[in-house]
Structure 1
Amino acid sequence: MPVFSYTGLDGRGQNQQGQVEAKDVKEARRLLRERAIYVLELREGTWSRSGGGLRARLRTVAALLNPGQYLKVKAGDLVVFFRQTALMLRSGYTLVTALDANCEMVAKIRLKRALRRMSDEIRKGASFSAVVAREKNIFSPMVANLIASGEQSGNLDSILERLADNLEKSRELKQQLFSAMLYPSFVLIAAVGVVIFLVVGVIPRFATFLSARNATLPGSTQMLMDVSAWALDHGKVLGIVAGSVIFGILVAMTQPKGKQVIDRVLLAIPVIGGAIRASAMAQAGWCLAMLLSSGVTALESLRITGGVIGNLAVSHCFRRAAEGLLAGKPLSKAFEQPHITLMMRNMAAVGESSGQLDTVMHGVGEYYQKELAAKVKMISIMIEPMLIVMVGGMVGFVYYAFFQAVMSVSNRGM
Structure 2
Amino acid sequence: MKVYIYKAYDKAGAKVDGQLEAISQAAALLALQNQGLLPSEIKEYKESAGDLFGNSKKVSLADLEFLTAELSLLLASGVRIDKGLDIIRRSKAQPALVRLLTAISRDIAKGQNLSQAMASHSDVFDPLYINLVELGEASGQLPEIFAKLAEDLKFRRDLQRKIISSLTYPFVILAVCILCIVFIFNFIVPKLSVLFSEPETLPWYTQALLGLSNWMQDYQVIMALAVVGSVFGIIHLFKQAKFLKIWQETLLKIPGLKSPVLTTERIRFNSALAMMLEAGLPIDKALDLAKGNIKNQVLQREMEIVRNKVKHGHSLSPSLKQTSLYPEFYVSLLEVGEESGNLAKVFDEIANRSRQEFETWTEKMTTLIEPLLILMMGGIVGGVVVVMLMSMVAVNDVGF
Which TM bucket (shorter chain)? 0.7 to 0.9
Flag the 1:133–1:121 CA change in 2: closer, same or farther, 3 A: same
Contact 1:85 1:157 in 2 (8 A): yes
Q: 1:144 aligned to 130, 134, 145, which one?
A: 130
CA distance in 1, matches of 2:331, 2:243: 28
Q: 1:388 aligned to 355, 374, 377, which one?
A: 374
Flag the 1:233–1:346 CA change in 2: closer, same or farther, 3 A: farther
Aligned-residue offset at 1:291: 1.4
SS in 2 for 1:73: coil
SS in 2 for 1:195: helix
Counterpart of 1:216 in structure 2 is 201
- In the TM superposition, what are the counterparts of 1:11-410 in structure 2 within 5 Å? 56-58=38-40, 61=42, 64-65=44-45, 71-105=57-91, 107-210=93-196, 212-214=197-199, 216-235=201-220, 237-265=222-250, 271=256, 274-310=259-295, 314-315=299-300, 317-319=302-304, 321-326=306-311, 329-335=314-320, 336-338=322-324, 343-410=329-396
Aligned-residue offset at 1:75: 2.6
Contact 1:271 1:379 in 2 (8 A): no
Aligned-residue offset at 1:184: 0.9
CA distance in 2, matches of 1:146, 1:320: 23
Report the TM-score, using the length of structure 1 for normalisation. Answer: 0.75
Aligned-residue offset at 1:250: 0.8
Contact 2:266 2:325 in 1 (8 A): no
Name the % identity. 25
CA distance in 2, matches of 1:82, 1:339: 29
Aligned-residue offset at 1:144: 0.9
CA distance in 2, matches of 1:216, 1:56: 81
Flag the 1:58–1:261 CA change in 2: closer, same or farther, 3 A: farther
CA distance in 1, matches of 2:301, 2:180: 40
Aligned-residue offset at 1:338: 4.2
CA distance in 2, matches of 1:182, 1:268: 25
Flag the 1:190–1:327 CA change in 2: closer, same or farther, 3 A: farther
Aligned-residue offset at 1:54: 9.5
Specify every segment of 5 or more residues in structure 1 that has no aligned partner in the other structure, as ranges: 1-16, 20-49
Once structures 1 and 2 are overlaid, which stretch shifts more, 269-278 or 400-409? 269-278
Report the TM-score, using the length of structure 2 for normalisation. Answer: 0.78
Counterpart of 1:22 in structure 2 is none
CA distance in 2, matches of 1:207, 1:268: 49
SS in 1 for 2:349: helix
Structure 1 vs Structure 2 CA RMSD: 3.4
Instruction: State the number of aligned residues.
Output: 364
Contact 1:317 1:340 in 2 (8 A): no
Aligned-residue offset at 1:181: 0.9
Flag the 1:58–1:266 CA change in 2: closer, same or farther, 3 A: farther
CA distance in 2, matches of 1:316, 1:223: 53
